[in-house]
Chains A and B, each alone.
Chain A
Amino acid sequence: MHLLVFIKQVPDASQVRVNYNTGTLIREGVPAIINPFDKHAIEEAVRIKEKFSGTVSVITMGPPMAESSLKEALSMGVDNAYLLSDRVFAGSDTLATSYALWAGAKKIIEEKGDVDIFLSGKQAIDGDTAQTGPGIATRFDIPLVTYAIAIKDIDLKKRTIEIVRLIESGAETIETTFPCFITVEEEINKIRYAPLPYLIRAARATIKILNTKNTKIDSSKCGLKNSPTKVKKAFTPQKRERGEMINKGSMQDTLNFLYENIESTLKDMGKI
């Protein structure tokens, strides 16, 4: 079985601070990490591989420094790592990103064989669109299963997979066929402490670089210029003002005060 995981290197959002004077994010010194959801996608792929045997490949599109995330992926048990890196990709929106990743994935398929399961995180914690996975799946024209919280069953003979996914009113179990595309939630698994042999293999592994020269990526579909959406402006949201401490003489007074203050909101919401 061949599994391909899409991973994105992101700044650790919890360490990004806002400069309210300039309206920009302070990213200096903020460590780059694998998008947290993507780590669970890697872990799930490696678990499936361990159970059914096969190989796991990962690909990331990003600047050369994204290599460190691929190294980390390798040390989690991934077999092949690809860095899709080229100036022309800079500024791509999700339509252009999913195009480039789709084309990059096709190159990997050429080299390593057909992919049975594609995985990605449900969402990147920086761009926050959750659109890249659906975009790639659509280009491959394969079944898409988003917000997966468990893989229940895989039948290698029938080439089917059962996946539990979150929906608005609860959860549903989907059965679908290979190849398919799954985007994962964090609770799909717990990331294990990888065995030492994985780390040693990762330290020895080399990362393959893909770009417009060694793939069939059409650069007229990539980058800022060729992305349909453009960022007109970026600004920091109004700082959330510190509200008021409403402790009154007695607890009852406090709670009555609270109620009076939120009464109209409750009304608008149709609660009362």
Chain B
Amino acid sequence: MIKQDIGEYKHIWIFVEHKDGKAKSVSFELISKARELAEVLGCEVHTFALGKKVKHLADEVFRYGANKFYFIEDNLLSEYKTEPFRDAASYLIDKYKPEIVLIGATTLGRDLAGTIATKLNTGLTADTTGLDIDKKTNNLLMTRPTFGGNLMATIFCPDNRPQMSTSRPGVYKAVEFSVEGEVVEESFKFNKSNYLKTVIDKTLESEEAVNLNFYDVIVAGGLGMETKENFKYVKELSSILGGTWAASRKAVQMGWAPQTRQVGQTGQTVHPKIYIACGISGAIQHQVGMKSSEIIIAINKDEEAPIFEIATYGIVGETGKILPAMIDLFREKIKKER
């Protein structure tokens, strides 16, 4: 391994992910966290964005305390494709040599980060939920769940720079802290013939295709929903709470939900703020997919159901009775408070 001169590297960089020019909240969360880290390291927080039109994001990142905003605008970056994003990002990082690069652990972020780290020949820590500075060495300590959340590992990257991590959305709080930042426009000469991918179709999220990880509230139904018809409660409650709905494998097998909405070992792993399990027994294969949710609310008629072992709040009862009442309650409360 070629040792780098790691002393050259300075400042913390945050990748500003956006969708059609609107920044994702994880970017602000990471800026806020980076400010804490920067204080320990005595450095600045810088941000970078790529796209067709992204300059306007500068104001937003400065509002959260970023000191600099780098960006590249190019038609080739109008929609996300791994390779041009990879090349543009690698170019910027290689040129400015930040000490730390943080990217939101979103679908896009996790697709992109591995390719950048490989290009830059540096270490990348996946999907972290904790970031710290080792006061002795000034190394970044990155803590992440593995084995489906059963084991936590603290990873560091002592000899390579930048130290890179994808960081899980929703872990840190975005705190406003306005500063006068500096905007730096950059450009990258894309060799167009290198990019062999076209997006020929985009379908908006549907019953079938959904990325559960995008949501902070998930209402999931299991065999205890009893009928496909009853899944309407699950869907309605999730929409009132501004979340999405999901299912256990048995419910998927019954044809009550598409496989894309399955949570668990062979479905998606989710960690929303609130997970409501309705008529789900809590088999270990289901648990590995959801037990790192912050609040788990379980409704089950069997008070011995294993789901109650991990539930924050357990309600013993019939899904068919409790869910309609819950829908009414939340509908009313949420309207009132607004």
Interface residues of A (CB under 8 A from B): 13-16, 18, 25, 36, 93-95, 98, 125-135, 137-139, 143-147, 149, 162, 164, 166-177, 180, 186-187, 220-221, 225-237, 240, 242-247, 251-252, 254-256, 258-259, 261-262, 265-266, 269, 271-272
Q: Does A243 contact B285, Cβ atoms closer than 8 Å?
A: no
Q: Does A138 contact B1, Cβ atoms closer than 8 Å?
A: no
Chain B's interface: helix, strand, loop or mixed, by majority?
mixed
- Cβ contact of A131, chosen from B82, B126, B211, cutoff 8 A: B126
Of chain A, the residue at the smallest CB distance from B292 is: A237
Q: Does A230 contact B156, Cβ atoms closer than 8 Å?
A: yes
What count of chain B residues pass the 8 Å CB interface test? 100
Chain A's interface: helix, strand, loop or mixed, by majority?
mixed
The 26 sampled A-B contact pairs (Cβ below 8 Å) are A13-B150, A14-B288, A18-B151, A36-B266, A98-B118, A128-B147, A129-B114, A131-B113, A133-B114, A143-B82, A143-B83, A144-B83, A171-B206, A173-B201, A173-B203, A174-B197, A174-B200, A187-B260, A230-B157, A234-B152, A236-B152, A247-B315, A255-B325, A259-B333, A272-B333, A272-B334
- A232-B155, A243-B312 in contact; A134/B115 too (CB < 8 A)? yes
Of residues 12 through 71 on chain B, the ones whose CB sits less than 8 Å from some CB of chain A are: 19
A170 to chain B, nearest CB (A): 4
Q: Does B153 contact A186, Cβ atoms closer than 8 Å?
A: no
Q: Does B82 contact A144, Cβ atoms closer than 8 Å?
A: yes
- A125-B265, A130-B114, A174-B197 in contact; A25/B123 too (CB < 8 A)? no
CA distance A266 to B110 in the complex (A): 28
Chain A contacts for B291, CB-based, 8 A:
240
Q: Does A130 contact B110, Cβ atoms closer than 8 Å?
A: yes
Q: Does A170 contact B203, Cβ atoms closer than 8 Å?
A: yes
CA distance A221 to B146 in the complex (A): 24
Q: Does A244 contact B197, Cβ atoms closer than 8 Å?
A: no
Q: Does B111 contact A146, Cβ atoms closer than 8 Å?
A: yes
Of chain A, the residue at the smallest CB distance from B173 is: A268
Q: Does A265 contact B295, Cβ atoms closer than 8 Å?
A: yes
Q: Does A168 contact B115, Cβ atoms closer than 8 Å?
A: no
CA distance A240 to B195 in the complex (A): 47
Q: Does B150 contact A128, Cβ atoms closer than 8 Å?
A: no
CA distance A89 to B234 in the complex (A): 47
B316 to chain A, nearest CB (A): 5
Chain A contacts for B80, CB-based, 8 A:
167
B58 to chain A, nearest CB (A): 23
- A138-B114, A176-B197 in contact; A16/B154 too (CB < 8 A)? no
CA distance A77 to B141 in the complex (A): 44
Chain B contacts for A94, CB-based, 8 A:
114, 124, 126
Chain A contacts for B158, CB-based, 8 A:
230
Q: Does A246 contact B313, Cβ atoms closer than 8 Å?
A: yes
Q: Does A271 contact B334, Cβ atoms closer than 8 Å?
A: yes
Interface residues of B (CB under 8 A from A): 1, 19, 80, 82-83, 86, 106-108, 110-111, 113-115, 117-119, 121-127, 141, 144-160, 196-206, 208-211, 214, 216-217, 241-242, 258-260, 265-267, 273-274, 284-285, 288, 291-292, 294-297, 303, 308-317, 321-322, 325-326, 329-330, 333-334, 337-338
Q: Does A242 contact B310, Cβ atoms closer than 8 Å?
A: yes
CA distance A164 to B89 in the complex (A): 25
Chain B contacts for A235, CB-based, 8 A:
151-154
Of chain A, the residue at the smallest CB distance from B202 is: A172
CA distance A9 to B167 in the complex (A): 26
A213 to chain B, nearest CB (A): 21
Of chain A, the residue at the smallest CB distance from B126 is: A129
B216 to chain A, nearest CB (A): 6
Q: Does B197 contact A143, Cβ atoms closer than 8 Å?
A: yes
Chain B contacts for A269, CB-based, 8 A:
216-217, 273
- Cβ contact of A166, chosen from B117, B209, B292, cutoff 8 A: B209
Chain A contacts for B201, CB-based, 8 A:
172-173
Chain A contacts for B313, CB-based, 8 A:
243-244, 246, 258, 261-262
Of chain A, the residue at the smallest CB distance from B201 is: A173
Q: Does A271 contact B325, Cβ atoms closer than 8 Å?
A: no
B302 to chain A, nearest CB (A): 12
CA distance A173 to B106 in the complex (A): 19
Q: Does B196 contact A176, Cβ atoms closer than 8 Å?
A: yes
CA distance A139 to B205 in the complex (A): 32
A139 to chain B, nearest CB (A): 6
CA distance A36 to B288 in the complex (A): 14
Chain A contacts for B125, CB-based, 8 A:
229
